[in-house]
Every structure is written in structure tokens, then in C-alpha cells.
């Protein structure tokens, strides 16, 4: 089997700007990221309008090292490439993901019991039932619109079941989640005003749901959140709405992307589809890891330098912004053999789609794996 060649780009190093929205509309993104990883693995990128900028890291080892060093590379000042805490607070999305230990550790412990392998195993029957319902609905037609009829339906149904979101509310939750995570996509609003409105309404919904479960607990994660205590402390009210928002949004959009990209990859690599069909259960675990590597639903995370520090051959100053690119790391030739080939039997596969270790490793990784292979 021949090695899939590394993609190329027509851009020069100085023309590659990961802070530019226009860059991400190009067809040669993979090639540009490869060029950075090989020739300028630590690069400074600046937003032309605001003048703000950040250091980009595209090598797997650098991404992993930054992820695990929360004391030097902090999350509490925002985790998106060009936003600051005040921006995310306006959107209502600053929560556990934008904190460092020990606060992060305490918040994570409040909900962790709902996402352990044992808890996910208990939810597996529901995941399979939901998947069967989706297949039964589309099978008679012989074709479907994959995203709207399959990959967006399963994750939102499963996470809403686990969170206790009433069925009549779920279309609204899906719509608001789409708007919140759409970025500049005009299909879902594409404006700061639309993002802010979606964030505000989802935060308010989270507060309402939390209050409802506090007054009348049920067997769901929201009830666990509002009743749980860590070190004798319950979750503060100001954290509850954004926390519920985060779980619903993250549990929906990321898995939807992975399912969509996974199905697309199987059409582009039909030999891998045939290999999997020969042993669905036996190859499911490695296939799920490869789908996450291939899709990399979370392209990046941002950190803020907490103290002057040399790293990656550059001298970074306190308050500098650092963006770690999981998409580039998941194609690093030093970590993955033939990285531009979709290989459902890839081993080892220390993919960074759930993060590369550290305090912020994906809380819902076990659930996402079950949804991908159900």
C-alpha cells in the first residue's frame, strides 16, 4: 500500500495566517498546516482588524506539552483563538473549560460521575436504541441528508436524554447550539449579535433547567449537578447555567462533526469500509479512535502565558496568547505513520482529538466513542 502524499499549498510561510477567517475557507488548509509544522512550527499570527495575535503550535509534542502544563499555559483567560474572558461572559459560555485547577478539578468532579466508563456503559442501550430509530426512519427512503437526518440527531438526543432536557425543548436547544458554535457561518446567523443572543438564551435555559431539577430531582446529570457537593461546596449559581450550556453544546456539536467526517472518510477510503464490515465489533474500537483523529472536531484551544517563558525556540512573554492546533498535531508524521491515510486499524493511535492529556482531557470521550460505533 503506497503512502498518501503530504498535501501542499500555494501559500508562502508569510502568507499563512491562522487568525484569518478567509484562510479557513481555502481548499489547501491541510497543506498549509503541514508547511507550518515542517518549516515554522512556532508561528506568530495576527488578526488584521484588531491587531491582536497569538503564537501557533502545530507539532504534536509541543501541543501535548502545552496542554499538560496548566501552570504556565492557563485556560482561565479564555480558550478561543481571538476572544477574552469578557467576550465569552457576554456570550454566556465561560464555564469549567475556562478555568484552571484547583477550581477546574472541583467543577469537573461534580459531573464526572455521569461520564465515567461505567456510567456510559449504562447509557449504551439508549444510544443503540436511538441509533436504530434513526436508521429505521431513513432506511425506507434509500437515501438521506447525512448531517440533518443522522449525525446531528443522535448526539443531541443522547446528551439531552442524559441531561434531562424535555423533548419539546430539544429543537430549540439544537438551533441555539448551532448558532452559538457557528462562528462566521452565514447559514446559522454568522454575526456577533446572533452568537450573543444564542449564548444568552442557552445560559438562561440552563439556569431554568437547573432550578427545575433542584425543586424536583430526576435521574439525570442536571439533577446530579444541582445537588452534588465537592469539599462541602455546591456549584455556584453563576457557574450553573454556563456549565449546563457547555455540556449540551459540547456533547452535541463535536460528536456530530465526528460522525459526519467519519462517514465521509469511509466513502473516500472504500477499502477501509470493507475492512470494517468484515468485523464490525472487532474493529470498532480502533475505528472510533481513527475517526476522531481524522475529524478532529475541536480544531484548536487557546492558552495564555502566565509568566515569561522560553518554549519552542521563542521567548514568550506573560499574557501572550498561545493556540495549540489539534488538527495539525493529528497529522504529525513523527507521531502517525502515513497520517493522511484513513486507517481503521491504526495502532498505536494516540490521537489528540480528545485533547492530549492534562486537566482538560475531554470529559465526554467515553460517550463519544460509544456514539461513533453504536
Environment class of 49 (CB within 10 Å of its CB; exposed 0-12, middle 13-18, buried 19+): exposed
Q: Give me Rg for the CA atoms of the chain.
A: 21
Q: What is the pLDDT of residues 106-148, one digit of tens each?
A: 888 887 877 877 778 778 888 999 999 999 999 999 999 999 9
pLDDT-derived band of residue 183, with 50, 70 and 90 as boundaries? low
- As a dihedral over the C-alpha atoms of residue 256, residue 261, residue 267, residue 273, rounded to 10 degrees, the angle is -80
> Closest Cα partner for 312 from 72, 53, 23, 20?
72
Residue 152 is classified by DSSP as: T
Where are the chain's structural domains? Answer: 13-373
Mean pLDDT along residues 332-350: 98
pLDDT value at residue 143: 94
pLDDT-derived band of residue 88, with 50, 70 and 90 as boundaries? low
Q: What is the pLDDT of residues 190-204, one digit of tens each?
A: 677 888 888 889 888
Domain 13-373 belongs in CATH node 1.10.630.10 = yes
Q: What is the pLDDT of residues 235-258, one digit of tens each?
A: 776 677 777 778 888 888 899 999
Beta carbons within 10 angstroms of residue 312's beta carbon:
16
Residue 90 has pLDDT above 70, yes or no: no
Environment class of 285 (CB within 10 Å of its CB; exposed 0-12, middle 13-18, buried 19+): middle
In sequence order, the β-bridge partners of residue 324 are 57, 301
Percent of the chain with pLDDT over 70: 94
pTM greater than 0.85: yes
Residue 265 has pLDDT above 90, yes or no: yes
Task: Tell me the pLDDT of the chain averaged across its residues.
Answer: 89
Q: Which position has the grid cell 444564542?
A: 198
Identify whether 348 is preceded by a cis peptide bond (ω within 30 of 0): yes
CA-angle at 226, arms to 225 and 232, nearest 5°: 90
> Closest Cα partner for 61 from 328, 345, 295, 316?
328
Contact of 128 with 371, CB cutoff 8 Å: no
CA 256 to chain CA centroid, Å, is: 10
Give 65's contacts (C-beta < 8 A, 6+ positions apart).
311
Environment class of 32 (CB within 10 Å of its CB; exposed 0-12, middle 13-18, buried 19+): buried
Residue 353 has pLDDT above 60, yes or no: yes
Give 228's contacts (C-beta < 8 A, 6+ positions apart).
110, 111, 234, 235
Q: What is the pLDDT of residues 18-30, one digit of tens each?
A: 999 899 999 999 9
pLDDT value at residue 182: 73
DSSP letters of 48-84?
Answer: TTT--EEEEE-SHHHHHHHHH-TTTEESTT-SSTT--
Environment class of 20 (CB within 10 Å of its CB; exposed 0-12, middle 13-18, buried 19+): middle
Q: Cell for 210?
A: 437547573
pLDDT value at residue 241: 77
Sign of CA dihedral 300, 301, 302, 303: negative
Amino acid at each position: 500500500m503506497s503512502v498518501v502524499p503530504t498535501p501542499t499549498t500555494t501559500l508562502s510561510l508569510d502568507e499563512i495566517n491562522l487568525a484569518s477567517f478567509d484562510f479557513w475557507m481555502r481548499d489547501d488548509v491541510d497543506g498549509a498546516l503541514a508547511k507550518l509544522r515542517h518549516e515554522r512550527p512556532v508561528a506568530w499570527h495576527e488578526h488584521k482588524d484588531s491587531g491582536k495575535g497569538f503564537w501557533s503550535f502545530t507539532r504534536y509534542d509541543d501541543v501535548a506539552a502545552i496542554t499538560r502544563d496548566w501552570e504556565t499555559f492557563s485556560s482561565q483567560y479564555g480558550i478561543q483563538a481571538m476572544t477574552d474572558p469578557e467576550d465569552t461572559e457576554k456570550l454566556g459560555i465561560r464555564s469549567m473549560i475556562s478555568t484552571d485547577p484547583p477550581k477546574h478539578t472541583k467543577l469537573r468532579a461534580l459531573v464526572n460521575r455521569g461520564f465515567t466508563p461505567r456510567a456510559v456503559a449504562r447509557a449504551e442501550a439508549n444510544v443503540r436504541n436511538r441509533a436504530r430509530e434513526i436508521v429505521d426512519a431513513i432506511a425506507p427512503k434509500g437515501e438521506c441528508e447525512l448531517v440533518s437526518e443522522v449525525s446531528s440527531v443522535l448526539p443531541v438526543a443522547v446528551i439531552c436524554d442524559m441531561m434531562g432536557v424535555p423533548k419539546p425543548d430539544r429543537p430549540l436547544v439544537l438551533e441555539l447550539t448551532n448558532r452559538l458554535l457557528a462562528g462566521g457561518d452565514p447559514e446559522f446567523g454568522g454575526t456577533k449579535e446572533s452568537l450573543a443572543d444564542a449564548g444568552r438564551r442557552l445560559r438562561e435555559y440552563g439556569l431554568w433547567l437547573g432550578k427545575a431539577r433542584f425543586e424536583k430531582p430526576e435521574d439525570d446529570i442536571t439533577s446530579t449537578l444541582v445537588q452534588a457537593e465537592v469539599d462541602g461546596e455546591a456549584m455556584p449559581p453563576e457557574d450553573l447555567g454556563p456549565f449546563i450550556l457547555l455540556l449540551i453544546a459540547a456533547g452535541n456539536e463535536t460528536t456530530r462533526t465526528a460522525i459526519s467526517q467519519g462517514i465521509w472518510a469511509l466513502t473516500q477510503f472504500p477499502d477501509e469500509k470493507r475492512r470494517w464490515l468484515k468485523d464490525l465489533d472487532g474493529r470498532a474500537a480502533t475505528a472510533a479512535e481513527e475517526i476522531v483523529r481524522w475529524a478532529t472536531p475541536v480544531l484548536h484551544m487557546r492558552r495564555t502565558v502566565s509568566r515569561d517563558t522560553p518554549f519552542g525556540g521563542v521567548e514568550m512573554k506573560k499574557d501572550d496568547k498561545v493556540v495549540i492546533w489539534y488538527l495539525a498535531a493529528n497529522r504529525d508524521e513523527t507521531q502517525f505513520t502515513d497520517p493522511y491515510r484513513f486507517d481503521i486499524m491504526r495502532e498505536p493511535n494516540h490521537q489528540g482529538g480528545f485533547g492530549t492529556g492534562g486537566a482538560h482531557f475531554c470529559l465526554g470521550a467515553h460517550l463519544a466513542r460509544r456514539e461513533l460505533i453504536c
